[in-house]
Structure 1
Amino acid sequence: MLFDTHVHLNAEQYNEDVDEVIHRAKEAGVTNMIVVGFDRPTIEKAMELVEQHDFLYASVGWHPVDAIDMTADDLSWLEELAKRPKVVALGEMGLDYHWDKSPKDVQKEVFRQQIRLAKKVKLPIIIHNREATEDTVAILKEAGADEVGGIMHCFTGSVETAKECVEMNFYISLGGPVTFKNAKKPKEVAADIPLDKLLIETDCPYLAPHPYRGKRNEPAFVKLVAEQIAELKGLSYEEVAKATNENALKLFHIEPQEK
């Protein structure tokens, strides 16, 4: 049983064949997925998808790149959506200093607003961090995000930062980069962080694992992530699949499916 904790099946890359992509995921042993929405259109599409499939759940939030576009009405809308049973997390949220669309101070404020909302509605959060590790960790600490915990999504930082996040009640989620030949940090994190603090994801359609690197990613490929972690930890694939599945079910308060 595999749990892909971060998919964008709501992306336009799947407009033509989303049903086939979902079918291939199930064939590969993927039993649950979190469809992540990060602005109005992607959230609306995520909600459509999760209502159609019982094994899909939604996370709703505002992406830091688009933080400048978020209004008070959007934040209220997120609060309303958080009441729906298929919404199990808020995010992705965080900081992204790679792109300059949204000023850093605006990103930080929108990030803080969403953490406050998560604490109010008692949902875990999914963190996007790109080239902003120091500020991301500082805001999580200052805002008391450990109260709800969550996921450091597609983590590519150091073992030291991973341990700091684990101490704040966050799981470390690894994706396609852990399979890349020269991805030293994700491999070190996979080997070092305890299995009960790890999750797996694809972030599809992005970051496809080896040997599909550069191609469109899809949830079925999350199996390759689990296999790589198993190899790095000296464990069986089944042990990693079982543990990461159980970790995700626990975090999102989802009842295990009957076998």
Structure 2
Amino acid sequence: MLVDSHCHLDFPDFDGERPELIARAAQAGVDLMVTICTHIRKFDQVRAIAEEFPQVYCSVGTHPHNAGTERGILAEEIIALAAHPKVVAIGEAGLDYFYDKAPRDAQAEGLRIHIEAARETGLPLVIHSRDADDDMASILREEMGKGAFPALLHCFSSGRELALTGIELGLYVSFSGILTFKRSEDLRDIARELPADRLLVETDAPYLAPQPRRGKRNEPAYTAMTAAVLAETRGVSQEEIARQTTENFFRLFRKVPQSARQPRAAGQ
């Protein structure tokens, strides 16, 4: 069993195809997925997909790209929305200095609000961090000093120091199709070094399809390709990576019921 811990099934790339998409995931051994919210104001669309499909859970939050347009949303609003039984995470929130689509102060403000919601609910915060290693590490250290909260660094492509800081602070690290790219040897070195009990896998679909599908639309079934490269990188079997990353997922995403471990046949 594998879990796609981060995808975006509400995106229009998947319109009209979601049942088939989920069936293909099951055929590939991907029995659970978390569809991640990027606009709180569009959360209803995310929630509806999680309600429709038993294999799908969701998060609630504002992507850093949207931090400027969704400024002013309070932690209390996020916490209230997170009470839904299918909401198992907060975010994604964070810092993106590569695209800088929102003012950096709005991104940091939004991140801290989401941290407050994660701390209050006990749900893991899904962290987006790109080209912002120093500021992210600083905020995480400061906020952990105010009170612990569960979190993961999703779609990890940052530097070794941020990965180790995250591990030190109790975070998990999730790898996407980027791990499979030919020029990602530095990232594979990081994946090789991190403790096994902190690793997750994801697609970030529809983005970042792994080799050999790079450049095409990604989908949850392709989690298996990334997991295979992670297994090869760490010198263990694919079965062991599936077991370990699934154990890690349920330890972190503790709101997901243990009954969800039971695989469903494709189409169910």
TM (normalized to structure 2)? 0.92
Q: Secondary structure at the match of 2:94?
A: strand
Alignment of 1:29-178 (within 5 A): 29-40=29-40, 42-73=42-73, 75-144=75-144, 147-178=148-179
Letter in 1 for 2:33: M
**Conservation of the 8 A alpha-carbon contact between 2:130 and 2:158:** no
Question: Compared with structure 1, are the counterparts of its residues 231 and 100 closer, same or farther at alpha carbon in structure 2 (3 Å cutoff)?
Answer: closer
Q: Secondary structure at the match of 2:36?
A: strand
1:258 to 238, 241, 262: 262
Cα deviation for residue 41 of structure 1 reads 5.5
Supply the distance in 2 between the matched residues of 1:44 and 1:236 (Cα, whole angstroms). Answer: 39
Q: Distance in 2 between matches of 1:95 and 1:202?
A: 20
Moved more, 149-158 or 205-214: 149-158
| Contact 1:174-1:186 at 8 Å conserved across structures | no
Separation (CA, whole Å) in 2 of partners of 1:148 and 1:175: 23
Paired-residue identity, %: 39
Residue 266 (structure 2) aligns with? none
Q: Deviations over 1:166-191 (max 9, x none)?
A: 11111110010110111122211221
Indicate conservation of the 8 Å contact 2:71/2:110, yes or no. no
Q: Which moved more, 1:15-24 or 1:75-84?
A: 75-84
Alpha-carbon distance between aligned partners in 2 of 1:73 and 1:164, rounded to the nearest angstrom: 28
Partner of 2:199: 198
67-76 vs 158-167, greater mean Cα deviation: 67-76
Q: Provide TM-score, normalisation by structure 1.
A: 0.95
Q: State the SS of the aligned residue for 2:182.
A: coil
Higher relative contact order (CA 8 A, sep 6+): 2
Deviating beyond 6 angstroms after TM superposition, the runs of 4 or more aligned structure 1 residues are none
What RMSD in Å do the two structures reach over aligned CA positions?
A: 1.6
Give the AA of the match of 2:11. Answer: A
Cα offset, 1:79, TM superposition: 1.9
Deviation at 1:73, TM superposition (A): 4.8
Unaligned runs of 5+ in 2: 264-268
Aligned-partner residue type, residue 110 of structure 2: V
Q: Indicate the SS of the match to 2:67.
A: helix
The yes-or-no answer on 1:183 pairing with 2:187 is: no
Q: What SS does the corresponding residue of 2:68 show, helix, strand or coil? A: helix
Partner amino acid for 1:4? Answer: D
Q: Which moved more, 1:46-55 or 1:216-225?
A: 46-55
Q: Tell me how far apart the structure 1 counterparts of residues 208 and 173 of structure 2 sit (CA, whole Å).
A: 17
